[in-house]
Structure 1
Amino acid sequence: MPHQNLLLGLDIGTTNIKCLAIDPTGKIAAQADQRTPLSYPKPGWTDFEPEPIWQAACRTLRELISKLGSPGKIRGIAVSGVAESLFPIDSNGEPVASAIAWFDLRTTGEYAWLCERIGYERLFQVTGLNPDPMFGLCKVLWLKNRNPQAFARAKRWLHMADYIAYRLSGVPATDPSLACRTLAYNLAKRTWAAELIKDAGVDPGSFPPVLRSGTPLGPVTAAAASATNLPADCVVCVGIHDQLSGTFAVSGLAKEVLTDSLGTSGTLLAIAEKPKFSRTLPEHGLAQGAVWIDEPMVYLTGGLFTAGAAIEWFQRQLGGNADFATLTAEAENTQYAVPLFLPHLVRSLTPFPDAQAAGAFVGLRATTTRAAMFRAVLEGIAFEARAIIEAMETIAGQPRPAEIVTIGIPMQNRLLAQIKADTFGSVLKISPIREAVALGVALAAGIGTGIFANGSEAASVARRQEIAIEPDPEQVKRLDARYQVYRELFQQLQPANHQLARMSRGTE
């Protein structure tokens, strides 16, 4: 029997493009994924090329639809994705350049120019963000400086999710959760910061309309229907930033819930009462942004650049490519003579943002085993999460969450979850939803097509029974003592890390 009233969520991630189809009860009817194509034009540079990204999205959709067999009625689709990576398109909708990856920091010169031209304080007071080279406006200026011909042709700047939605519908648009990651969005007024954008030498009209997540854009175009096998009457809806999409799926953006999302990076996110424009937030790596599903809301977030990436790094470089299960089994039986690990393999974010921070094992001895080192990696990730929660409370005045829910495939590992519960000293709930981001954006499509009356109804359909992890009192004491040592290491190692960074650049 054909499925009826299916909703599709397409997630354009850094590593994979994933899609799932759900019915109105939240049951998953089919899933598909493809690797996200990346290009590396120069050492240290990473780009998303528009056509390979589009083709991978099309393959993912075709695979999913083929798995449905008789697809029945696909009512709608919405797209989520990473922020800070923008495709420029011309007046005909054709891309004129690739998108710089969100983690690519080649835009440090543009960032410095913005801070001098606009001023750090104005950038922060308007956008609520700690100005940083990764944000979209810096990447717009990079194209202006490095490829002025392409910049002159660029009439719209679209995040990757918005670009795919545009290719599907022919309508350019974005939502607040993506718009607020450009360094060009007025957080208090909930609109583009037109004067700031003009002062940066960019046309404010080149940024797309900002609409509520789930807003219907229209049916798929004939060309998109042919490329994807989507039915011609499938409605394309405005999507959402991947972090907010996953949060919506597991918590419904409830104010009392803090979500701990662990993927390549790690993000802790809580809904806040209102924007805060105190410099103490960016000075400690806390960020804020906007989201709009039922009502406009503000969120507070802190992050770790390399969370799951630190685990993968250990597997690849020190773990003999052993799988996660093997390393975990070894680490479960190792609690003593464990070194400390700082997981700053790219840079540090919250609570001490530092582009020159570096990772480190501290306390290695001749008797240190692979198992002890891997456990140290897991503990380091947990310690960073605790530091973020403490910064939210002490720096931003965020109430202690009544509930902490984790999402992300690595969190399906009980050892990592137990270490986090013991580090936090509180119950930790593991969401069983493995593809929370794609699910969350499918729910947005459900709102846009009228399957769900609002976000509350959609979230109630999605939420699953979580697994509760209770803290072990003995381990709480042990890890608290280790955390007190850990929290001092960043500043103790900072001078050496900065000196090493200067040496590697040949400036010392």
Structure 2
Amino acid sequence: MKHVIGVDLGTSAVKVVLVNQQGQIVNEVSKPYPLIQEKSGYSEQDPNEWVTQTTAALKELVSTFNGDVASIDGLSFSGQMHGLVLLDNNNEVLRNAILWNDTRTTEQCQQIYNLVGEEKLLQITKNPALEGFTLPKLLWVKQYEPETFAKASVFMLPKDYLRYKMTGQIHSEYSDAAGTLLLNVAEKSWSEEMCELTGIPANICPPLVESHGNVGTITAQFASETGLAESTKVFAGGADNACGAIGSGILSKGKTLCSIGTSGVVLSYEEEKDRDFGGKVHYFNHGEENTFYTMGVTLAAGYSLSWFKDVFAKEEAFETLLQGLENVPVGANGLLFTPYVVGERTPHADATIRASFIGMDASHERIDFARAVIEGITFSLQESIDIFRQSGKTIDTIISIGGGAKNETWLQIQADVFNAKIVKLQSEQGPAIGAAILAAYGSGWASSLQECADAFLIEDIVYEPIPENVEKYATLFNLYKQVYSQTKELNEGLKSFRKN
């Protein structure tokens, strides 16, 4: 039987999965690597740590595989978005990679608006200038490390550097390039205009390929180090969110993904290249050829619940904390929560706003607060869905993954708040499976990415919205939306009293 490997290069660890033609995970291995945080707001990694740990993970995966390594047709990648890797003329790393969660570039974001203009930026890149993106990082290095910048011959994104070290070939692909602010998203090409306006040499942008594109085979050295066959084909891969969408079957109109991890993502499939959301949500190229996705982000989704547990139930399991959740009525007995514990992203790009409990009284118990936190997280995600629907998008089926898919009551809350069918998958591996599906499709296992995903993914449980609850939540959602505007000024006043 044939196999493929999905490599998911995350922020804290690399995960590799070996998958057979039935979509079954034969084995998986994960290896961690550290963050480098020299100053407040800085977040970096040594790119060679990714290579070392991925090599170790693949070696372990292969060593426990009972089959013929030649049956492993190929491998592909999912990768953390936006990170900046700079190489010199000898393709050696010039400095540590600056990661997606690095916030040092507020000054450079404003420079982009000054140089390009908000309207033109959205017209070309479909996204606002945020600290996480790659272009602000390039401008920061150019401004504060000019000698390093002058030596740069190419910039790369994290998974693209890892792939280069496996193959000796330098490429990027559209779903990750869309998160740089240098790609013309609709035209699928590096924007010479963006490069010219911001002073970034166009020749440091890597060649672009499709996510399922075959970029070669692994080198003899990498084969020797891992035990893989030299014939193992390598495919370009995709950004983590694009691969998460592929790994959840978000490959047709009306399909939407709700992923609740530390942060929360609502991601919806998009066929049109010219839809205008005015920068309220992200708009990126998909891992499927000539398609796109829109995405809204809640900064502290699962993190809000983790914070609540750590403060009020540190020694308890989540199952104990949420015991009796299903018995609390819609609206948590008149208690409302906004999940702004670290600020917010969609629809309010606001680093100063903070969370609120509204409506507390002496009758409330801890489980009421827990229900309010879960409902508040879901309301925040609904704000993204609301933006999608107001633009004319149809959202009728939502695949739910992550922490929000581990509790039946929360899944029903999602169905009722989103007023959509919620689907829980039988086996959920997200971006790693998405990378494996890209490798399988690239290897010719199916005639389309959709067909490949259908073979890999099985629905488990479907939750339908309850009309009575939908109506109640619509009323509560309108109240929830008022909290931001009515607490914004208060939080600005409190900012100077917070811990640094």
Q: Is the pair's TM-score, using the shorter chain for normalization, greater than 0.5?
A: yes
CA distance in 2, matches of 1:338, 1:317: 22
Deviation at 1:330, TM superposition (A): 4.5
CA deviation profile, 1:18-38 (whole Å, cap 9, x unmatched) = 111111221211111123421
Deviations along 1:324-362, whole A, 9 cap, x unmatched? 222222433434446322112222222233232222222
Q: Who is 1:315 aligned against?
A: 309
> Could you tell which deviates more after superposition, 458-467 or 446-455?
446-455
- Which of the residues 442, 446, 452 maps onto 1:448? 442
2:8 counterpart of 1:20: no
Which residue of structure 2 aligns with residue 221 of structure 1? 219
Q: Name the amino acid aligned to 1:258.
A: T
Residue from 378, 381, 393 that aligns with 1:382: 378
1:42-81 paired onto structure 2 within 5 Å: 42-72=39-69, 73-81=71-79
- What residue is the counterpart of 1:156 in the other structure? 154
Q: Which runs of 5+ in 1 are unaligned?
A: none
Alignment-mate amino acid for residue 456 of structure 1: Q
**C-alpha separation between the residues in 2 aligned to 1:165 and 1:213?**
12
1:202 is the counterpart of 2:200: yes
Bigger mean CA offset, 173-182 vs 247-256 = 247-256
Question: Which deviates further from its counterpart, 373-382 or 269-278?
Answer: 269-278
Q: Compute the displacement of 1:366 (Å).
A: 4.3
Q: 1 CA distance for matches of 2:261 and 2:143?
A: 33
Match of 1:352 among 345, 348, 351: 348
- CA drift at 1:277: 6.2
Q: Secondary structure at the match of 2:150?
A: helix
CA distance in 1, matches of 2:211, 2:408: 34
Counterpart residue identity of residue 225, structure 2: A
Give, in angstroms, the shift of residue 505 of structure 1: 10
Partners of 2:177 and 2:299 lie apart in 1 by 21
Which deviates more from structure 2 when the two are superposed, residues 217-226 or residues 162-171? 217-226
Identity of aligned residues (%): 29
Q: Which residue of 1 aligns with 2:175?
A: 177
Q: How does 1:58-457 map to 2 (within 5 A)?
A: 58-72=55-69, 73-276=71-274, 278=276, 281-282=278-279, 285-293=280-288, 295-335=289-329, 336-337=332-333, 339-394=335-390, 396-398=391-393, 400-457=394-451
- Say if 1:12 and 1:36, in contact at 8 Å, map to a contact too: no
2:4 to 7, 22, 35: 7
Distance in 2 between residues matched to 1:154 and 1:322, nearest whole Å: 50
TM-score normalised per structure 1: 0.92
Structure 2 CA distance for partners of 1:236 and 1:273, relative to 1, 3 Å: closer
Report deviation, 1:504.
Answer: 5.3
Q: Is the 8 A contact 1:343 1:360 kept in 2?
A: yes
Write the distance in 2 (CA, Å) between the matches of 1:103 and 1:367: 40
Q: CA deviation at 1:109?
A: 0.8
Letter in 2 for 1:212: E
Alpha-carbon contact 2:396-2:421 (below 8 Å) kept: no
* Cα distance in structure 2, aligned partners of 1:132 and 1:255: 28
Distance 1:229 1:378 in 2: 46
Shift in alpha-carbon separation, 1:485–1:208, aligned structure 2, 3 A: same
Are 1:252 and 1:455, in contact at CA under 8 Å, matched by a contact in 2?
no
Q: Distance in 2 between matches of 1:252 and 1:367?
A: 43
Count matched residues. 497
Question: Which residue, 474, 482, 487 being the options, matches 1:488?
Answer: 482
| Residue identity opposite 1:377 in structure 2 | V
Structure 2 counterpart of 1:458, from 452, 455, 470:
452
Per-residue deviation, residues 372-419 of structure 1 (Å, max 9, x unmatched): 22222211111112221111111x222x22312112244122122121
1:45 is matched by which residue type in structure 2? Y
Superposition RMSD on alpha carbons, in Å?
Answer: 2.2
For residues 409-449 of structure 1, what are the alpha-carbon distances to aligned partners after superposition, in whole Å with 9 as ceiling and x for unaligned? 44122122121112123321112232121111111111222
Residue in 1 that maps onto 2:29: 32
Q: Secondary structure at the match of 1:31?
A: strand
SS at match of 1:133: coil
- Any conservation in 1 of the 2:186–2:274 contact (CA below 8 Å)? no
Change (3 A) 1:320 1:115: same
Conserved in 2, the CA contact under 8 Å of 1:13 and 1:36?
Answer: no
- Rounded Cα–Cα distance in structure 2 between residues aligned with 1:502 and 1:296: 47
Instruction: Specify whether residues 244 and 499 from structure 1 end up closer, same or farther in structure 2 by C-alpha distance, changes over 3 A only.
Output: same
Maintained 8 Å contact 2:122/2:278: no
